[in-house]
Amino acid sequence: MQTKTLGKDLQVSAVGLGCMGFSHAYGAPVDEQEAVRLLRYAFDLGYTFFDTAEVYGTPQDPHANERLVGKALAQVRNKVVIATKFGLRFDFESGRVPIPMVADSKPQTIRRSVESSLKRLQTDHIDLYFQHRIDPQVSPEEVAGVMADLIQEGKITHWGISEANETYLRRANAVCPVTAVQNRYSMMARHYEALFPALEELGVGLVAFSPMANGFLTGKYGKGEAFDPKTDYRAVMPQFTDKAIEQNQPLLALLNGMAKQKNATPAQISLAWMLCKKPWIVPIPGTRKENRMLENAQAAGVQLSAQEVQKLDAALDAMKMSAVYGV
């Protein structure tokens, strides 16, 4: 697979793998042995960028995903880039179900988090350490100061911010250079394009999560889809309602039309659209299926010209879409 560079020098596969779905939010967790096999298969396909977080798990096993990624990639650790996240914790004291997560980026919490993540990931350093969500109680300068210390200590090599806004990014970057932001970005969620000029100016990459609108842009979901509300967040995502499926037919037709022109799939077009837009955008779609893993990896080879990207943008601008989760 082709590679891209985040920030000044972090080289990653052009398409990364979002690992959350193996343990969290997209149905019951995958059997550990099978998940390890799939992660190793992804590496064999050319994926070198794997994204996880300390809170991707279940109430019974809140940190399952990091352990899974650590186990699967231990034998190829020096050939991969592992991103994980701090700054969200389970609020077990609330007594609520599902257990809510609260932002917590206090320096002492970050210190505890990084040590625990290193152990679960079976590594001596984290390649890209994201603040999972901004904590309004802790200044960006204080968080960035801790990141600078962790880099100096060799516990992390690069850091980033998830769901970053421009003001927070600039203040944090002034203390410790930010390598990437990880924000929701897809054809259905383009509000962070307003951040692009700042990213370009500062030399910061964009790691795009939910790049296919939680799978909707694959075009594989129709009316009457049933998701388990206990384990699958798609059960409450507005883009999967019957009304939304109908409303978004023009969007799916746009994807299908370009896919036919490029001998590709709608999913690959939705990824190629962002890959060809900026050299510093890296999507991290998640999947539990080998064929989808291969399909997503091959999206890196689909070429769209600047004019074709602009044409897609213009069509998206003029389109009335349904609401989408997270916007």
18: which residues sit within 8 A by CB, 6+ positions away? Answer: 51, 209, 284, 285, 286
Q: What is the DSSP string of 259-305?
A: HHHHT--HHHHHHHHHHTT-TTEEE----S-HHHHHHHHHGGG----
Q: Cα(161)–Cα(134) distance, rounded to whole angstroms?
A: 8
Alpha helices in the chain, H assignment, sequence order: 32-45, 64-73, 107-120, 140-153, 166-175, 196-202, 242-247, 249-262, 266-275, 290-298, 306-317
In a 3-state reduction of DSSP, which class is residue 82?
Answer: strand
188: which residues sit within 8 A by CB, 6+ positions away? Answer: 213, 216, 217, 239, 251, 321, 324, 327
Distance set, CA 169 to CA 141, 179, 278 (Å): 10, 11, 19
Q: Cα(318)–Cα(301) distance, rounded to whole angstroms?
A: 28
SS3 letters for 136-175? CCCCHHHHHHHHHHHHHHCCECCEEEECCCHHHHHHHHHH
Q: Cα(178)–Cα(161) distance, rounded to whole angstroms?
A: 8
Q: Cα(143)–Cα(125) distance, rounded to whole angstroms?
A: 18
At 23, list the tokens.
């343990």
Q: Is 185 a catalytic residue?
A: no
Give the active site residue among 47, 56, 221, 325.
Answer: 56
Residues noted as catalytic: 56
